[in-house]
C-alpha cells in the first residue's frame, strides 16, 4: 500500500517546505575577519571578493566615524567587533623622531561594534612614555576566540575577555624582565602559536618569551640581545621542522617554537637598532633587511638546523624596508625602501627590477610609507597621505588603477603630515585610523 497521504506525511509537509525554501534562497556570503596584524593568515592577503573595481566619484563612502586619540596601532576586526588602542595625552607628541623624552598620558584599549562604531567597552591605564615617536601604541590587537591581547608602547601586555573587557591576565614587560622599551617602543606584534603567545620582551635571556595564552604563565624564554628591535616573531616550516625566526639588532636567530631551543644564528648589525620587517621566505632562502642598506640573504638547510650567508649588504640592488612589511609574490619582493620608493627585488639574486615613487607621489620623499595588501590580481596600497591606491604590481612594473583620498594625515614625521597605521580589511570594508578618528569605509561592489 502506498502511504502517499498518511497523517505522518501530512505532518511533515511544513518541514519539507521550509527545507526546500532554505535550499533555494540566495545565500549572503560572509566576509572574512581581520583578527590580527596582516590579516587572518598574517600574510597581507585579502581573500574576499565582490569588491569595487574603481572608486566612485568623491571616493568610497564612510559608513561611520569613531573618535580615537593618538597611535600607530592598526585595528583588529573579529566577531562583529573592532579593537583599537590609543594614547590620550595633553603633551605635544609631535617632536623630533630620534629623541627620548618624557610624556604623561593614558593608554586605552577600545572595543567597538563593527556595524556602527558604537563603543562597547574600554580599558585605560596611566603610562609614562620615554620613547621616540610618542603618539601612541604600535601593535595591532590579536583576537583569538574569546580572548584579545594588546601590547602597549611601554610593554603593557594584557589579555582581555572579548565579551566584556575583563582582564584575564597581564604583565608589564619592562618591570617583569628588568629592561626598558626600545627607542621606538614595543612594536613587534605578538603571535599566537597553539597554546602559546609569543612576544618580544627584552632583558637577560628573555628577548623572546612564550606565555600560556590563557593563563599568562611563562612556558619558556630565550636569547639576550642589545635591544628588542621591532620585528614580529615569525614561524616557517623548514623541511620537517618549524623554525621561529627572530630578527634582532645584533643577530638573526631561529629557535624551536615549542621549547625556545636555539637552532641557528648568524650575525646582523642593525643601524640604530632598527630591524623592523619580518623575514621573507622564498624556497630555502630568507631575506632580511633594515635601515642603512643592511640587507642579508640566508639559505636554510632543510635537512639540519643551520644556515649559510648567500650575500650581505647589497647597496646597489637590495632595498631597506624601514616602515612597512614588504610583500613576496613568487620570486619577487615588493617593498618601500628607506629612500622613499617602491622597489621590486628579484630573489635570490637580489636584483632590483624597478623602482617608483608613484604610490606616494611624483616627488620622492625619504621613508615614504604605503602598506601593501594583495587582493585577487591587484594590490591595495594605503599610503601615508591617507589615500587608498589600487594598482597592479609585476616584475615588469607598477600600473596604477585608481586612487582616492580617504583619511586625513594627522601625525608628523620628518616635517610632513603622515598617517602611519596599517588598516584592517574585513567584510568588504576598510577600517582606517589616524590620531583623531577610526573610520569604516565601504568598498563592496554595488
The pLDDT tens digits for 4-44 are: 344 444 444 444 433 333 333 333 344 789 999 999 999 99
Q: How confident is the model over 66-115, as pLDDT tens digits? A: 999 999 999 999 999 999 999 999 999 988 777 788 999 999 999 999 99
- Is 4 a domain residue? no
Residue 320 lies in a domain: yes
Which CATH number is 316's domain given? 2.130.10.10
% pLDDT > 70, the chain: 93
Does the residue 6 lie in any domain?
no
CA 431 vs CA 121, 251, 367: distances in Å = 18, 35, 23
> Is residue 343 domain-resident?
yes
Pick 101 or 330 by higher pLDDT.
330
pLDDT at 149 over 60: yes
- Burial of 23-35, coded b for 16+ CB within 10 Å and e otherwise, reads eeeeeeeebbbbb
Instruction: Note the pLDDT of residue 176.
Output: 98
Residue 153, domain extent:
31-442
Looking at the domain assignment, is residue 197 inside a domain? yes
With CA atoms as reference, report the closest residue to 220 among 169, 259, 171.
259
User: Total domain count for the chain?
Assistant: 1
Three cell numbers written together for 63? 559608513
Q: CB count, 10 Å around CB of 396?
A: 10
User: In the prediction, which pLDDT does 273 show?
Assistant: 64
The mean pLDDT of the chain is: 91
Q: Please tell me the predicted confidence (pLDDT) of residue 7.
A: 45
pLDDT at 221: 98
Average pLDDT over residues 409-424: 94
pLDDT at 319 over 70: yes
In a domain, 227, yes or no: yes
Give me the pLDDT at residue 280, please: 97
Residues of the chain above pLDDT 90, percent: 81
How high is the pLDDT of residue 164? Answer: 98
pLDDT value of position 364: 81
What pLDDT, on the 0 to 100 scale, is given for residue 11? 46
Is 1 part of a structural domain of the chain?
no
In the predicted structure, residue 432 carries a pLDDT above the cut 60: yes
Q: Is residue 377 part of a domain?
A: yes
Q: What is the pLDDT of residue 315?
A: 74
pLDDT at 169: 98
Count of alpha carbons within 13 Å of 134, Cβ hemisphere only?
25
At 349 the pLDDT is 93
Q: State the pLDDT at residue 415.
A: 87
Amino acid at each position: 500500500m502506498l502511504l502517499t497521504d498518511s497523517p505522518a506525511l501530512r505532518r511533515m509537509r511544513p518541514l519539507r517546505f521550509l527545507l526546500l525554501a532554505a535550499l533555494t534562497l540566495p545565500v549572503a556570503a560572509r566576509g572574512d575577519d581581520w583578527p590580527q596584524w596582516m590579516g587572518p593568515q598574517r600574510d597581507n592577503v585579502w581573500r574576499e571578493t565582490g569588491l569595487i573595481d574603481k572608486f566612485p566619484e568623491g571616493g568610497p563612502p564612510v559608513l561611520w566615524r569613531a573618535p580615537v586619540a593618538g597611535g600607530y596601532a592598526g585595528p583588529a576586526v573579529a566577531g562583529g567587533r573592532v579593537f583599537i588602542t590609543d594614547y590620550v595625552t595633553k603633551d605635544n607628541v609631535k617632536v623630533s623622531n630620534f629623541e627620548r623624552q618624557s610624556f604623561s598620558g593614558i593608554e586605552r584599549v577600545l572595543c567597538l561594534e563593527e556595524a556602527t562604531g558604537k563603543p562597547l567597552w574600554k580599558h585605560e591605564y596611566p603610562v609614562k612614555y620615554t620613547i621616540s615617536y610618542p603618539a601612541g601604541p604600535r601593535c595591532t590587537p590579536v583576537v583569538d576566540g574569546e580572548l584579545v591581547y594588546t601590547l602597549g608602547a611601554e610593554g603593557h601586555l594584557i589579555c582581555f575577555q572579548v565579551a566584556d573587557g575583563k582582564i584575564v591576565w597581564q604583565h608589564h614587560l619592562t618591570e617583569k624582565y628588568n629592561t626598558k622599551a626600545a627607542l621606538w617602543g614595543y612594536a613587534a606584534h605578538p603571535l599566537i602559536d597553539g597554546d602559546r603567545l609569543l612576544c618580544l620582551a627584552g632583558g637577560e635571556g628573555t628577548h623572546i618569551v612564550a606565555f600560556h595564552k590563557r593563563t599568562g604563565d611563562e612556558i619558556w624564554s630565550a636569547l639576550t640581545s642589545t635591544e628588542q628591535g621591532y620585528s614580529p616573531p615569525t614561524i616557517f616550516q623548514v623541511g620537517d621542522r618549524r623554525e621561529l625566526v627572530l630578527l634582532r639588532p645584533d643577530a638573526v636567530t631561529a629557535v624551536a617554537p615549542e621549547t625556545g631551543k636555539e637552532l641557528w644564528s648568524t650575525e646582523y648589525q642593525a643601524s640604530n637598532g632598527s630591524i623592523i620587517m619580518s623575514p621573507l621566505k622564498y624556497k630555502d632562502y630568507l631575506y632580511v633587511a633594515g635601515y642603512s642598506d643592511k640587507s642579508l640573504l640566508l639559505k636554510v638547510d632543510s635537512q639540519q638546523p643551520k644556515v649559510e650567508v648567500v650575500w650581505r649588504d647589497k647597496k646597489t640592488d637590495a632595498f631597506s624596508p624601514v616602515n612597512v612589511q614588504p610583500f613576496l609574490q613568487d620570486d619577487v619582493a615588493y617593498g618601500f625602501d628607506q629612500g622613499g620608493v617602491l622597489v621590486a627585488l628579484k630573489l635570490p639574486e637580489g636584483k632590483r627590477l624597478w623602482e617608483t615613487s608613484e604610490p606616494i607621489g611624483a616627488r620622492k620623499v625619504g621613508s615614504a610609507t604605503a602598506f601593501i595588501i594583495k587582493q585577487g590580481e591587484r594590490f591595495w596600497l594605503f599610503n601615508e597621505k591617507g589615500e587608498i591606491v589600487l594598482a597592479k604590481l609585476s616584475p615588469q612594473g607598477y600600473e596604477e588603477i585608481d586612487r582616492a583620498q580617504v583619511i586625513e594625515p594627522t601625525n608628523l614625521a620628518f616635517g610632513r603630515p603622515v598617517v602611519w597605521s596599517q588598516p584592517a580589511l574585513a567584510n568588504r570594508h576598510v577600517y582606517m585610523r589616524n590620531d583623531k578618528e577610526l573610520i569604516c569605509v565601504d568598498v563592496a561592489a554595488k
